Amino acid sequence: MKLLVIGGGGREHALVWKLAQSPRVTHLWCAPGNAGTARETLAAGGTVENVAIGAEDLPTLISFARKNRPDLTVVGPDGSLALGIVDTFQAEGLRIWGPNQKAAQFESSKAFSQDFMERYGIPTARSRTFSDPTEARNFCAELGGRCALKADGLALGKGVILSQNLDEAEAAIQQLLVQRAFGEASRQIVVQEFLEGIEISLHALCDGSHVQILPSSQDHKRIGDGDQGPNTGGMGTYSPTPFLSDVAWEQVGHTVLDPWIRGCASEGIDFRGLIYPGVMLTSSGPRVLEFNARWGDPETQVYVTRLENDMVDLLEACLDGSLDRHPLRWSRQASVCVVIAGAGYPGSAERGKVIHGLDEIERLPKVKVFHAGTVLKEGQVITNGGRVLGVTAWDETLTAARDRAYAAVSRICFDGMQFRHDIAVKGIIG
Ligand code: AMP
Ligand code: GLY
């Protein structure tokens, strides 16, 4: 079977690595991929082939697919989904995994998601949507100035501002609604009450009518140790988390996803892909902060190292509506991913630095380095983005997995590299 994976970050390298293990896969392209995807080999023989086409360049992707006829295309990034890549491929008779444009609205419009949650009784923060700055300000005042102010549309993970008082809330309204910091994406904003609690990542595969909930994981969004500094795309993850038992975790999943899937059915939303609600475990129960309509990055890196099913089978089950007949199987081992970023991240990061130590790590057991912003140049692996690598390790306990991941991180070196030193610590102490 021939596969095409769309995207070139850490998530896509993780998906490629797992898909390449399926004996069913005889050819795998990744567009555009990175230096890590280019090094992967298939269990069935052969190597993964990078194709130099951007993940959002739909016309070129379509003409590549028309010519090469992949049996299945797998979409990683939210941007491609929001552009309607799934609808475009389907219109050409090409099989593709991921939500269509209507279903991808759960991520591409926070206002849509918020209204949907209210219509179907999905627990979320108290919230309203605004295009008028004065009305937004009045609501922030009602909330005592402690709010989350969010651009409605996609904003590269940077469209959320947290305020602690009314002055900060006003500054955020100015930036988002008045100065239109994110262009059309901040024509409207969602204002939520500020929630306290433990934030976790809920992931579930969905085939249009059934959901299969993945184990718990937790991201670390801030750049600095101790959750200090600005938000990033995610600086590290681990799975499972110790905050809830497996049974309580399933309950959280059902509390959110049972009304969600009922709502999808009644609105004619055919969601086939992965739904990822960001959830705050508050003292009065779980509350959804936002929905993503794709695999988390770096959550995927820890999930693929624990998943025992053939991933091709699972993705196909999402498309043919048979997910209920494919129970997910997980290794009992814990997995930890530590992201290494370039200098300057989450602002504009330095690029073009030579990365040392990768070959040595390939020989270590229970460790996998997933590439994100990397490129091959004259035989060397060079940095080419903000988040550069996701060093992932697994072991019997979270502590052992964490030690293994950091031992591997210590062997990697490039100019200006930065990483958090406390990934998974909350899970060990907590
Ligand atoms: P989002 O992209 O909506 O998940 O927001 C980015 C980050 O902002 C989240 O991962 C949370 O850490 C934080 N956040 C979002 N909404 C809230 C909220 N209502 N209360 C507190 N923190 C929030
Ligand atoms: N882990 C954060 C995200 O994928 O949005």
- d(CA 117, CA 128) in angstroms, rounded, equals 12
What was the pLDDT predicted at 283? 96
Over range 395-401, report the average pLDDT: 98
Q: Of the bound ligands, which one is closest to the alpha carbon of residue 217?
A: 2
The 218-219 sheet, strands edge to edge = 218-219, 236-239, 334-341, 387-395, 367-371
β-pair type (49-50, 27-32):
parallel
For residue 156, the model assigns a pLDDT of 78
Could you report the per-residue pLDDT of 188-245, keeping only the tens digit for each? Answer: 999 999 999 999 999 999 999 999 999 999 999 999 999 999 889 999 999 999 999 9
Q: Ligand 1: which of 127, 162, 186, 299 to mutate, judged by most atoms within 8 Å of the beta carbon?
A: 162
- Is residue 395 scored above 90 in pLDDT? yes
Evaluate if residue 430 carries a pLDDT over 70: no
Sketch out the chain's domains with CATH numbers.
Answer: 2-100 (3.40.50.20), 132-187 (3.30.1490.20), 198-429 (3.30.470.20)
Centre of ligand 1 from the C-alpha of residue 195, in Å: 8
Which two tokens mark 375?
């490129």
pLDDT tens for each residue of 351-388: 999 999 999 999 999 999 999 999 999 999 999 999 99
Starting from the CA of residue 106, give the closest ligand: 1
Condensed to tens digits (0 to 9), the pLDDT of residues 254-268 reads 999 999 999 999 999
Q: What pLDDT score was predicted for residue 41? A: 98
Contacts of 365 (CB under 8 A, 6+ apart): none
Say what the pLDDT of residue 216 is: 97
- Residue 299 Cα to ligand 2 midpoint, Å, equals 7
Instruction: Give the pair of three-digit tokens for residue 39.
Output: 């090094």
How much distance in Å is there from the Cα of 234 to the middle of ligand 2? Answer: 6
Cα gap 279→199, rounded to integer Å? 6
> Does the pLDDT of residue 140 top 60, yes or no?
yes
- Count the neighbouring beta carbons within 10 Å of the beta carbon of residue 26: 14
Give the percent of the chain with pLDDT over 90: 98
Distance separating alpha carbons of residues 346 and 104, to the nearest angstrom:
25
Percentage with pLDDT > 70 across the chain:
100
- Centroid of ligand 1 to alpha carbon of 165 (angstroms): 16
